[in-house]
Amino acid sequence: MERLSWDPTDSPIRSQEARCPTLLPPRSPALKPLETAAIKMQTLTETMRDNANSSEKSTGATREESYTQDERNVQTLMETIQDDANSSEQSTGVTQEEPYTQDEINVLRKRDLVQLIERQPEKWPHKYVKPAHSTVNALKSSLLDLGCGFTKTVLYDIAADEGNSTVTGGEGDVVNMTDNAELQLEHRDDRDGGELSPDGQEHPIDELGDDRQFVQIFIDDCRPTAANPQTSCGVHLTEVGPEGCSENQWHVGTGELLQQLQRSSGAIEGTGPFRLAYPDPLNEAYSRCFLSMQPGQQVLGSTPDLSVLAITDDGAGNHFISLTVQQPQVTQSAVPSTAVQPSAGGSRAGTSSVVTADRAEALSRQTQWLKAKALNCPGYNAFRTAQHRSVTNTEIVASWRFAADFVSAYNKTSSDRMGIHGVFNKK
């Protein structure tokens, strides 16, 4: 019976190394068990070849026993390779994407929550609001919302000397999961210095604190002497929240609002007399006065009539309020008698104040008359609702159509001079 011999050079590992040794991939810790197995395989084949040569002249029973021993050696080697592979997989670890838990998120500060969201910016649901400008509750809700899909990368390491699992972020961000579920960011973003608010001013996150909310203020100054009739600014407030408010409304402390407003670029200049008003929460077509300024009085030195104001919440993390600076109506009796008396030389000194007062009174009367007319025009409610919020193209077209029709109907008209205008036609 002819005995078949096995040339170890026919081994796939040896033949691959011989044909293309330079094309082998670089060594890594995960491949070390395979290299060890290859060495063991080579040693075993050489041992089998020596056993075959030594037993070539022996009996068939001896050769059969030698083959049986070789088979046992091969089986032992395969078991060793499998054990090495299993131990390598355990030491290397297995990664898996998992959602955040309530305990993990509750212990984080606002800056940590912002960084977790900026790791996966495509999953942030509020497209027009930066995470740094949102409240802590909004950040936590988004991270815990399964619909948004925010996840952490968990690296499971079951080595005997390690009792804690490691949570790996991605892009180099690593956080450790301890027994009390506290997350500590070990790699910070270089942009932790601050955020640029819509008012163009940079506010560091640590300075603002975790509970401050950004509020946009739109100011319409109707005083004849106003340098900027229409302006806007942004402030950060702490006395703000949705508690006790209806849908699409938040409350804000009046004192803090005025204090931060006067510190911003949109501060109301000048002294009284004038009034501050805002749209009435029950009917935004009417304005509600919350601060009456006496002659010579400044905003910061006055006491508002309302301690809390209602601001608008658009549902996307934006909060804003519209303020109106109103010039009180000046009657003829309120003008000092010395102002209307010409000087001894016959000059017209002092008459300019009378003209200014009359002009302010006429402007205020005209404005109130136009507001009353607008309330009865079709499309006014949609036009008023579309202000200071994101709208669709259809809403934009309807809003501009109302404005154009209203101007066409009431341009150069007044309560005592209608002319050929004053008829509002809704097309």
Q: What is the pTM of this model?
A: 0.36
The stretches of 32-128 forming alpha helices (DSSP H) are 32-54, 60-92, 102-106, 110-119
Q: Where are the domains of the chain?
A: 95-154, 212-326, 368-409
CA distance 425 to 427: 6
Place of tokens 């601001």: 311
User: Mean pLDDT in runs of 10 for the chain (427 residues)?
Assistant: 53 47 45 61 69 58 56 63 58 73 86 88 83 83 88 69 46 40 38 41 45 88 84 89 80 90 89 88 86 86 87 84 82 46 48 63 80 82 78 84 85 58 49
Question: Contact 11/42 with Cβ under 8 angstroms?
Answer: yes
Place of tokens 């929460």: 281
| pLDDT recorded at residue 172 | 39
Other CB atoms closer than 10 Å to residue 228's CB: what's the count?
12
Sheet holding 173-176, edge to edge: 94-99, 151-156, 166-170, 173-176
Phi-psi label, residue 5: left if phi above 0, alpha if psi -120 to 50, beta otherwise: beta
Q: In a 10 Å sphere around its CB, with 0-12 CB exposed, 13-18 middle and 19+ buried, how is residue 197 labelled?
A: buried
Tally DSSP H helices, then E strands, for the chain: 12, 14
| pLDDT recorded at residue 67 | 54
- The pLDDT tens digits of the residues spanning 300-317 come to 888 888 888 999 888 777
- 212-326 is classed CATH 3.10.20: yes
Other CB atoms closer than 10 Å to residue 312's CB: what's the count?
22
Residue 201: which H helix or E strand, with range? none
| pLDDT recorded at residue 390 | 79
Phi-psi label, residue 170: left if phi above 0, alpha if psi -120 to 50, beta otherwise: left
